[in-house]
Structure 1
């Protein structure tokens, strides 16, 4: 939650007038590096939606970086949450080098608009053809590419702090969250 990338994104979105709520998953709260069962993350997303319903009712866009976005998609596909839109910042289609282990079967079940913000050199979506097929299987999905970007949106030869990289994505995320 306090990673400079997410701080930069949240600060830039807030500066643009977009309300932001950040949270951590149970495995992070417990100090573990590896995620626990998907059910724990889905329950966390469900709890976030319940909090929003009580404190800021109305439509919301679920945004997650890597695992957080994938778990939002799982929660939405299972009907555990009902965001108006979903944004995935570096969707981890499969573990690096393991395209035989796709994490995508649930994505076509999602009926709300989905935005995949992806680095063109992200090993989590290589081979690109597989990623393109997954996006095409979705009901309403689009992709926004970061030329030369890796999974963290870093571009080789363009050294920028993570906070600046996150802030740089606020325009596309904010526009999509606003329905544009």
Structure 2
């Protein structure tokens, strides 16, 4: 499937300035997913690249972007700056592809900042949130406080979580999703860890993990209003 790839910049916040973004739009795309990166990475990280490439093959466009701290190589921005950047990225996506239904989310930290922004007030035009490895807790410190804000999110949420994710114990994540009711869908990725490395010998499916997730995103998004 042919695709358009266009890199550009948008204003994250007046104080922090512009950040980089990359729009990847396959021919006949069904949706556009706005993707934030993990805490210690950036939009060019291999995981982000794999997510975007496989989404494109599944017919889902993506717009991935940097948070200001990763753009400028500085210490982590405040939560307020990160959530403002999420909103700015969503606005940039609406402008870049006004004809496509919007989704938003990201890998780990990027997904959590997106859900935090959506819990504070709706993200304009966004029909659903997609979390690649939602970071429910710190490694070795199982708790669910990071999920408390999800009760204030008003759109459907898709959780793509590995069965070996050390930041999201499934025994904790499953009740979180159940409590969210019809708005939450949990897809467990067999033998995957937080970065989606899998145990090939014991994994039940031969399907590539990123192909699997892209397929699930496309199927889930197709059922949204």
TM-score (norm. length: structure 1): 0.86
Q: Which residue of 2 aligns with 1:115?
A: 158
Q: What 5-or-longer segments of structure 1 have no aligned partner?
A: 159-163
Tell me if the contact between 1:11 and 1:167 (Cα under 8 Å) persists in the aligned partners: no
Q: Which residue of 2 aligns with 1:161?
A: none
* Pairs aligned (count): 173
Mapped pair 1:13 → 2:72: no
Structure with the bigger percentage of helix: 1
Q: Which residue of 1 aligns with 2:72?
A: 30
Q: Which residue of 2 aligns with 1:60?
A: 102
d(CA) in 2 for partners of 1:9 and 1:125?
A: 19
Structure with the bigger percentage of strand: 2
Q: Quick one: structure 1 residues 63 and 177, their matched pair in 2 at CA, closer, same or farther if it must change by over 3 Å?
A: farther
Mapped pair 1:147 → 2:187: no
Q: Which residue of 2 aligns with 1:77?
A: 119
In structure 1, which of residues 113, 132, 136 is the aligned counterpart of residue 178 of structure 2?
136
- Alpha-carbon RMSD across the aligned residues, in angstroms, is 2.0
Tell me if the contact between 2:122 and 2:153 (Cα under 8 Å) persists in the aligned partners: no
Q: Which residue of 2 aligns with 1:99?
A: 142
Q: Which residue of 2 aligns with 1:43?
A: 84
Deviation at 1:73, TM superposition (A): 0.4
Does the residue aligned with 1:179 lie in a helix, a strand or coil? coil
Dislocated runs of 4+, deviation >6 Å:
none
In structure 1, which of residues 173, 177, 180 is the aligned counterpart of residue 217 of structure 2?
173
Tell me if the contact between 1:5 and 1:166 (Cα under 8 Å) persists in the aligned partners: no
- Cα-to-partner distance string for 1:52-101 (whole Å, 9 max, x where unaligned): 23232253011300000111100111115241011100000011112246
Larger RCO, structures 1/2 (Cα 8 Å, 6+ apart): 1
